[in-house]
Amino acid sequence: MPYIARIIDDAEKERFDEFMARHPKGHVLQTWGWGELKSKTGWKPWRLVLERQGEIIAAISILERKIPVIGTPIFYASRGPVLDWKDESLFDALLLEVRKLAKKRGAIFLKVDPDVPSSAQELENYFKSRGFRSAETGKGFEGVQPKYVFRLDISPAEETLLAQMHQKTRYNVKLATKKGVTIRIGTKADLPEFYRVLKETTERDKFLVRSYSYFEDMYNELNPVGMAEVFVAEYEGQIIAGTLALIIGEKAWYLYGASSNAHRNVMPNYLIQWEMIRWAKSRGCTLYDFRGVPGHLTEDNPLYGLYRFKKGFNGEYTEFIGEWDLVYRPVVYSLWNTLEPIYSDVVKGIIGKLRRRNRG
């Protein structure tokens, strides 16, 4: 049966998100609001759907951005596309429509990193047969989205989830409660304090963080439609930890976490994760995604502590199929692959100088 392909506008944003929420491969990074958020950081979103008898059966939210120096755009479908990827004829039809859009926009390539495990050999074979190129960048957090995550099936009862945790993790959850740490869902008024604690975290652990306006925009776009919440941990009247969670359909994601340098001994990070899991269950979720962990699982890895923390909740260590590029303009793509590492090194050097200057 033939498909109807359309680029949709914001008059259909609720319908688009409803499809994302009910589809097994629906992802919050493919929703309308996420595209709007990224539009504030230099990306242009396109929402393309395939319909049959008036029902959406496949969708992709594409982010377009002109790249430095070359000045021509790339396409990126974060955790997309969303469809039954085993239906090759449907996948082919969607890719054909994306190619048409890419030709109109002059896009160099389409990058995808679907929410599909690396064990899905059929999808890898499909990608290769359609001309996709693997765009792997490393085993840490070098990719656009993390390739390695911990995911927890939260459909069992709370008592079972607690019992299945690592003993030390369960002990720390109870210790935080015993010490008087309390967790609550925050409001927009809590964002400045959340960001202050997040800055403490980034300075302590030596990684970069986006500007406050990014988090404010995220809250404004996703919280009113029920896709984002801020959680805060309080102790002796102070906010000492915070998290930001995303949710759609039966899935929830732990996106950002922050912890103050003060009172770390009362273990707020453990209790706040547990309360987020309970919140996700109360919203009907069956999957809780702890997001990124390193791919190099040795104790000398600087990120091993993050891996151990998330592992303690008994989630399943998951490797995704990774990033794949479908190239439309091979010559320009080759030029981009040559220039991109140089550009990245320059940016990292500038950031390093700024950080040293700020410390000074």
d(CA 326, CA 256): 30
Domain of 95?
Answer: 4-138+321-359
pTM of the model: 0.91
- Where a domain ends, among 227, 258, 285? 285
What pLDDT score was predicted for residue 48? 98
Are 102 and 141 in contact by the 8 Å Cβ rule? The answer is no
Is the domain of 170 the same as that of 107? no
Is 106 in the same domain as 202?
A: no
Residue 25 lies in a domain: yes
> In the numeric block, which tokens belong to residue 352?
């390093």
Counted domains in the chain: 2
Vertex 312 angle, CA 226 and 294, to 5°: 80
Opening angle at CA 165, ends 312 and 167, nearest 5: 85
Let me know whether 165 and 274 are in one domain. Answer: yes
Report the sign of the C-alpha dihedral through residues 74, 291, 153, 38, in that order.
negative
Q: From 235, 260, 285, give the residue that closes a domain.
A: 285
Report yes or no on 33 lying in a domain: yes
Give a yes or no: residue 315 inside a domain.
no
Q: For residue range 309-347, what is the model confidence (pLDDT) as tens digits? A: 999 999 999 999 999 999 999 999 999 888 776 655 444
Domain-located, residue 257: yes
Residue 303 lies in a domain: no
Q: Quick check: is 291 in a domain?
A: no
- CATH classification of the domain holding 239: 3.40.630.30
Do 168 and 251 lie in one domain? The reply is yes
Domain boundary among 258, 285, 312: 285
Within this chain, do residues 126 and 165 fall inside the same structural domain, yes or no?
no
My answer on whether 75 and 178 are in the same domain is no
Local confidence band at 19 (pLDDT 50, 70, 90 cut-offs)? very high
**Is residue 223 helix, strand or coil?**
coil
Among residues 49, 73, 50, the alpha carbon closest in space to that of 61 is found at 49
Span 257-309, pLDDT tens digits: 999 999 999 999 999 999 999 999 999 999 999 998 888 778 888 778 889 99
With a CB cutoff of 8 Å and minimum separation 6, the contacts of 164 are 156, 314
Q: Looking at the structure, do residues 14 and 131 belong to the same domain, yes or no?
A: yes
